[in-house]
């Protein structure tokens, strides 16, 4: 019986899988061109599955493929060049033996005890052959000077490939979270390297590497191939096209998250393959513990620069301009928390964004940030949420507690204060999510689904003048049209020195649409 696999290598025939043949084909084309490159993606991003299928394709095409890893071998191989060379050649020999490649014993040459000897040996062993070396889990080794010398040697041999007396691997692939070209980030975080006087440069031993631009995320059409396999087996009647698009929308194609949601629907929600079932699956994984989410929060708590940037992006709705030299931005990209989008970086996916919001809300709820919290009451009647009443109570709560607070603090925290107030109301009965596509520094759309039938659109905005406030009316109407809703809520925070003395709320009608226009002071 096949299942959705979220714990390691996915295998065709055993697991429900996205069709990644095109991704493998593009990667194989790089090998055919003789590229040396790094497959560096965040954890649980499908690297191992792609590599295993790539290995199979290359072997079928006549390549001699050695896939090795230094994970779990201890420190001995990295004590000196001799130990490294002997371990490397042993692993290559064993890999060739596993694939029944002739001459595998010749690779286990115990006389190769230095990189100089390795250089000559590779000239002999690779001449006239298409040998591919894949080193998996390079994060375990990339802060080791012996390993860096080795890939430096490979770089030099790569540059000499035009010499008829020289031969080397057809292609070398390094796989891991970190890109060897961005080694400084790894060394800083590992503690093996510290900045001196604010700056110190490390020359990359892998500057000959080609850019690996294969999109490893799952598109909606990719996801549909997996759901089609499942539907053929279970005949649930699901709308494959609709669910594929929504899975993509929630996860932005992050492979683990796609499979995790599908597995949750299949095994914990009685195969409820509907939008409501998907929403319930999102709620469940937002509160579960997993290595991926543990790493997310660990990186936030362990890195003040990254944490500050994430707060600015989520809580303040700021657009963060991409800068390749910014340590926090590069770190967020390496770990898959950020995604580069045009000239900006954004939170990679809605699941991460919601998990971060819940984390920051939790800090306020537990008092770790010394900010008072309040709970509205009497806003749920007969299982229905009275959103207008809830927002009015929030406005009064906000006015009573924060009216005399520093404006800069409020502007930075107002969105979080609203969500912190609302979360206890909807827990267990509802679900909120952020419309990242519409969020900018002045507005942010929050969708709150409550029960099985209620959906509320709340636009949060900061006061920027009458003209822009009128434009916000138009934007909200447009968004209500897009969501086929007739009623919405506009919550504007006013930080002017000469602002109104009391909060206010009034219903505004425009055609068939109406919204509660609220001013929070």
Provide DSSP, 20-45.
Answer: -HHHHHHHHHHHHTT--EEEE--TTS
Long-range contacts for 243-246 (Cβ within 8 Å, ≥24 apart)? 243/273, 243/275, 243/278, 244/220, 245/220, 246/275, 246/278
Q: Burial letters for 143-158: b for 16+ Cβ neighbours within 10 Å, e otherwise?
A: bbebbbebbebbbebb
> Would the CA dihedral through 380, 383, 385, 389 be positive or negative?
negative
**3-state SS record for 346-392:** EECCHHHHHHHHHHHHHHHHCCCCCCCCCCCCCCEECCEECHHHHHH
Alpha carbon of 212 to those of 38, 51, 216, 253, 485: distances in Å? Answer: 7, 13, 10, 18, 43
pLDDT at position 336: 95
Spatial separation of the C-alpha atoms in residues 25 and 29, rounded to whole Å = 6
Global confidence as pTM: 0.86
Parse the chain into domains and list their residue ranges: 21-190, 220-288, 371-521
Q: At what angle do helices 275-287 and 255-268 cross, to 10 degrees?
A: 110
CA angle 162, 163, 164 (to 5 degrees): 110
Percent of the chain as helix, strand, coil, to the nearest 5: 50, 15, 35
Q: Where are the alpha helices (DSSP H) in 127-239?
A: 145-159, 183-190, 220-234
Walk across the sheet containing 320-321 and list its strands. Answer: 320-321, 344-347, 338-341
Give the single-character DSSP code of 104. G
Q: Report CA 502 to chain centroid distance, whole Å.
A: 42
Enumerate residue ranges in the chain where pLDDT < 50.
185, 187-188, 190-202, 369-376, 438-442
Sequence length of the chain is 521
4 vs 83: CA distance, rounded Å: 41
User: Closest by alpha carbon to 322, among 306, 347, 346, 350?
Assistant: 346
Q: What integer pLDDT is reported at residue 453 of this predicted model?
A: 86
Q: Express each pLDDT in 461-470 by its tens digit.
A: 989 999 999 9
Predicted local confidence at residue 438, as pLDDT: 47
Residues contacting 225, CB < 8 A, separation 6+? 18, 19
Helices assigned H by DSSP within 33-80: 47-60
344 contact partners, CB below 8 Å, separation of at least 6: 319, 320, 321, 322
Q: Give the whole-angstrom CA distance, residue 507 versus residue 516.
A: 4
- For domain 21-190, give the CATH number: 3.40.50
What pLDDT does 374 receive? 43
pLDDT tens-digit series, residues 90-137: 999 999 999 999 999 999 999 999 999 999 999 999 999 999 999 998
Query: Among all chains, which residue has been given the structure tokens 């990186």?
Result: 299
Residue with tokens 């406030």: 469
The CA distances from residue 451 to 162, 203, 265, 426, in Å, are 68, 57, 18, 9
Burial label, 73 (beta-carbon count in 10 A; 0-12, 13-18, 19+) = middle
Residue 366: burial class (beta carbons within 10 Å; 0-12, 13-18, 19+): exposed
Q: Residue 179's pLDDT is what? A: 67
Which tens digits make up the pLDDT trace of 193-242? 443 334 444 456 788 999 999 999 999 999 999 999 999 999 999 999 99
What one-character DSSP code corresponds to residue 101?
A: -
What is the predicted pLDDT for the residue at 185? Answer: 47
Q: What is the DSSP letter of 15?
A: B
Quote the pLDDT of residue 425: 84
Q: Are 45 and 255 in contact, with CB atoms under 8 Å apart?
A: yes
Contacts of 290 (CB under 8 A, 6+ apart): 260
Q: How far does Cα 33 stand from its chain's mean position?
A: 30
DSSP, res 404: T
Neighbours of 161 (CB within 10 A): 13
Write b or e for each residue in 416-450: b if 16 or more Cβ atoms lie within 10 A of its Cβ, otherwise e.
bbbbbbbbebbeeebbbbbbbeebeebbbbbbbbb
**d(C-alpha 113, C-alpha 88), whole Å:** 11
β pairing state of 454-462 and 37-40: unpaired
């Amino acid at each position: 019986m096949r299942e959705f696999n979220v714990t390691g290598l996915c295998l065709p025939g055993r697991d429900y899988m996205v069709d990644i043949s095109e991704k493998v084909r593009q990667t194989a084309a790089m090998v055919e061109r003789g590229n040396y490159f790094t497959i560096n993606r965040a954890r649980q991003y499908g690297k191992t599955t792609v590599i295993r299928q790539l290995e199979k394709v290359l072997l079928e095409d006549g390549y001699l493929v050695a896939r090795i890893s230094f994970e779990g071998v201890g420190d001995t191989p990295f004590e000196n060049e001799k130990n490294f060379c002997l371990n490397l050649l042993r692993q290559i020999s064993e890999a060739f033996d596993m694939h029944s490649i002739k001459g595998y014993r010749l690779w286990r040459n115990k006389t190769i005890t230095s990189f100089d000897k390795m250089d000559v040996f590779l000239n002999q062993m690779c001449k006239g052959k298409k040998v591919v070396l894949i080193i998996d889990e390079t994060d375990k080794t990339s802060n080791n000077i012996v390993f860096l010398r080795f890939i430096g040697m490979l770089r030099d041999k790569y540059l000499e490939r035009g010499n008829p007396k020289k031969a080397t691997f057809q292609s070398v692939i390094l796989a891991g979270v970190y890109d060897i070209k961005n080694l400084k980030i790894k060394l800083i975080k590992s503690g093996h390297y510290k900045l001196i006087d604010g700056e110190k440069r490390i020359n990359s031993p892998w500057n000959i590497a080609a850019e690996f631009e294969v999109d490893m995320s799952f598109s909606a059409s990719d996801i549909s191939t997996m759901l089609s396999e499942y539907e053929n087996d279970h005949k649930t009647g699901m709308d494959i096209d609709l669910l594929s698009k929504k899975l993509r929308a929630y996860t932005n194609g992050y492979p683990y998250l796609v499979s995790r949601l599908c597995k949750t629907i299949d095994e914990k929600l009685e195969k409820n393959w509907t939008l409501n079932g998907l929403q319930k699956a999102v709620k469940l994984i937002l509160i579960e513990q997993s290595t991926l989410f543990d790493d997310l929060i660990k990186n936030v708590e362990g890195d003040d620069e990254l944490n500050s940037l994430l707060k600015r992006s989520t809580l303040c709705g700021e657009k963060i301009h991409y800068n390749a030299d910014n340590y926090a931005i590069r770190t967020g990209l390496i770990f898959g928390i950020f995604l580069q989008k045009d000239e900006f970086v954004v939170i990679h996916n809605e699941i991460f964004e919601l998990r971060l919001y819940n984390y920051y809300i939790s800090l306020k709820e537990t008092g770790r940030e010394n900010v008072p919290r309040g709970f509205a009451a009497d806003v749920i009647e007969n299982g229905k949420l009275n959103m207008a009443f809830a927002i009015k109570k929030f406005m009064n709560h906000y006015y009573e507690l924060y009216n005399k607070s520093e404006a800069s603090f409020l502007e930075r925290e107002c969105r979080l204060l609203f969500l912190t107030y609302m979360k206890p109301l909807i827990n267990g009965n509802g679900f909120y999510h952020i419309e990242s596509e519409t969020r900018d520094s002045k507005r942010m759309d929050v969708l709150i689904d409550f029960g099985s039938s209620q959906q509320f659109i709340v636009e949060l905005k900061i006061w920027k003048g009458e003209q822009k406030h009128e434009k916000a009316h138009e934007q909200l109407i447009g968004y209500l049209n897009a969501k086929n809703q007739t009623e919405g809520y506009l919550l504007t925070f006013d930080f002017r020195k000469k602002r109104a003395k009391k909060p206010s709320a009034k219903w505004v009608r425009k055609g068939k649409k109406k919204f509660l226009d609220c001013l929070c002071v």
